[in-house]
Amino acid sequence: MMIKILFYSYLNNIYSCRKIEKALHENIYFMWLSGNSIPDYRTINYFRGKRLKDHINQVFAQVVKLLEELDYVSLNVQYVDGTKIEAKSNRYSFVWRKSVEKNKTKLEEKIKAVIGQIESQIKSDQREIDTIEAVKPIDSKELKAKIDELNNQLQDPDKSTQREIKKLKDDHLPRLEKYEKQLEILGSRGSYSKTDEDATFMRLKDDHLKNGQLKPAYNAQISTENQIITHYSIHQTPGDITTLEKHLNSFEELNGVQSKEVVADAGYGSEQNYEIMEEKEIDAYVKYSFYYKEQKASQKENPFVVQNLYYNEQDDYYVCPMGQHMEFKEERSKVSTTGYKSRTRYYEASRCEGCPMRGMCYKGNENRTIEINQNLNRHRSKARELLGSEKGLYHRRKRSVEVEAVFGQLKAIINLPDLL
**Can you give the pLDDT at residue 136?**
61
Q: List the chain domain ranges.
A: 1-54, 95-192, 292-372
CA distance linking residue 391 with residue 149, whole number of Å: 73
Confidence of residue 331 (pLDDT cuts 50, 70, 90): very high
- Give pTM, 2 decimals: 0.82
State residue 133's pLDDT score. Answer: 46
Q: Which of 5-9, 143-147, 187-191, 390-394 has the lowest mean pLDDT?
A: 143-147
3-state secondary structure of 286: strand
Give bridge partners of residue 325 from the DSSP assignment.
319
* Confidence at residue 207, expressed as pLDDT on a 0 to 100 scale: 64
Contacting residues for 71 by C-beta, under 8 A, at least 6 apart: none
200 near 217, Cβ under 8 Å?
yes
How many other C-beta atoms lie within 10 A of the C-beta of residue 223?
A: 29
Of 291, 275, 244, 282, the closest CA to residue 342 belongs to 275
Segment 54-78, tens digit of pLDDT: 888 899 999 999 999 999 999 999 9
Reported as a single tens digit per residue, the pLDDT across 196-213 is: 999 999 988 766 666 778
Residue range 179-192: average pLDDT? 93
